[in-house]
Amino acid sequence: MGYARDRCPRFPQGSGPDSVRFHIARDADQMILVSFAIEKDHYPESRGVLPFSRKAVAFLTGHPNPLLEAQARAYVAGYLRRRPESA
């Protein structure tokens, strides 16, 4: 395991992040707060929170990076399959 940059020929070239990690920070009152951290060279580069409405089944505010938002949407979809009801 580890980071693939400069070790795997299939890893995309460029100055993008090495990884993005997601975490459910809160799930209450029909609102899920998805916390994320972007890592580069083994260090946190940026972080944030995306509020997701269970009722609207959508993020209330998006992220400027459409790829990160799509990854967050996939993460929430997996979470909702495991936890269809609020905690």
pLDDT (0 to 100) of residue 76:
97
pTM exceeds 0.85 for this model: no
* Cα Rg of the chain, angstroms: 15
Cβ count within 10 A of residue 31: 14
CA 74 from centroid of its chain's CA atoms: 8
Helix, strand, or coil here: 23?
Answer: strand
Domain ranges of the chain: 19-82
State the alpha helices, DSSP H only, in 1-87.
66-82
Q: Is the pLDDT of residue 66 over 50?
A: yes
Q: What is the pLDDT of residues 19-53, one digit of tens each?
A: 899 999 999 999 999 999 999 877 889 999 999 99
pLDDT (0 to 100) of residue 64:
92
